[in-house]
Amino acid sequence: MTTDTDDLRDRARSSRLGRRLLAERYSSYWLTAAGYTAIALFAGITLLLFYRSLPILSEYPLSSLLTSANWDPAANEFGFLPAIVGTVYVTVLSMVMGVPVALGAAIYIAEYAEGRMKTLVAALIDVLAAVPSVIFGLVALIVVVPFVGNYVAPVFGENTVGVGIFTVSLVMAIVITPFMTSLTVESLESLPDELRETSLGVGATKFETIRSVLLRAAGPGIFSAILLGFGRVFGATIVPALLIGGQTQIPSSVFSSGQTLPTLIVNDFGELMSLPLTQSALIFVGLMLVVVVWLFNFGAMLVQRRLKRRWQYR
Spatial CB neighbours of 31, under 8 Å, sequence gap ≥ 6: none
- Give, for 33, the enclosing helix (H) or strand (E): helix 16-35
Which residue number, 111 or 158, has a Cβ lying nearer to other proteins? 111
Nearer residue to other proteins within complex by CB, 132 or 154: 132
List the interface residues with other proteins, window 63-92 (CB under 8 A): none
The single-letter code of the amino acid at 165 is I
CA end-to-end span of the chain: 42
Which of the residues 46 through 65 are near other proteins (CB under 8 A)? Answer: 48-49, 52
Burial of 275 (C-beta count, 10 Å sphere; 0-12/13-18/19+): middle
Instruction: Tell me if 5 contacts other proteins by CB under 8 A.
Output: no
Q: How far is the CB of 5 from other proteins (least distance, A)?
A: 15
Number of C-beta neighbours around residue 110 at 10 A: 22
By CB under 8 A, the count of residues binding other proteins is 95
Output b/e per residue, 25-62; b: 16+ Cβ within 10 A: beeeeeeeeeeeeeeeeeeeeeeebeebbeebeeebee
Q: Which listed residue (2, 4, 13, 39) binds other proteins by CB under 8 A?
A: 39
The residue among 256, 275, 180 whose CA lies nearest residue 218 is 180
Q: How far is the CB of 95 from other proteins (least distance, A)?
A: 15
Cα R_g (the chain), whole angstroms: 25
The contact mask relative to other proteins for 87-126 (x = CB under 8 A, - = no) is: -------------xxxxxx-xxx-xxx-------x-xxxx
Residue 192 near residue 97 (C-beta atoms within 8 A): no
Binders of other proteins in range 184-223 (CB under 8 A): 186, 205-208, 210
Whose Cβ is closer to other proteins: residue 141's or residue 191's?
141
CB of 152 to other proteins, least distance (A): 15
Q: Closest distance between other proteins and the C-beta of residue 146, in Å?
A: 12
- Rounded Cα gap, residues 100 and 20, in angstroms: 57
Nearest to 313 by CA among 197, 204, 228, 205: 197
Q: Which stretch binds other proteins (CB under 8 A): 32-40, 62-70, 80-88, 152-160?
A: 32-40
- Measured from the CB of residue 157, what is the shortest distance to other proteins in angstroms? 26
3-state helix, strand, coil split of the chain in percent (to 5) is 80, 0, 20
Of residues 229-248, which lie at the interface with other proteins (CB under 8 A)?
A: 231-232, 234-238, 241-242
Closer CB to other proteins, residue 85 or residue 163?
A: 163
Q: Which of 3, 15, 37, 64 binds other proteins (CB under 8 A)?
A: 37
In this chain, which stretch among 2-10, 71-79, 180-188, 193-201 interacts with other proteins, using CB under 8 A?
180-188
List the helix and strand counts (H, then E) for the chain. Answer: 18, 2
Site for other proteins in 137-176 (CB under 8 A): 137-139, 141-143, 174
Q: What distance in Å separates the CA atoms of residue 93 and residue 102, rounded to the nearest whole number? A: 14
Closer Cβ to other proteins, 217 or 239, answer by number: 239
> Residues 264-303: x/- map of binding to other proteins (CB under 8 A)?
-xx--x--xx-----x--xx--x--xx--xx--xx--x--
Of 10, 23, 150, 212, the one binding other proteins (CB under 8 A) is 23
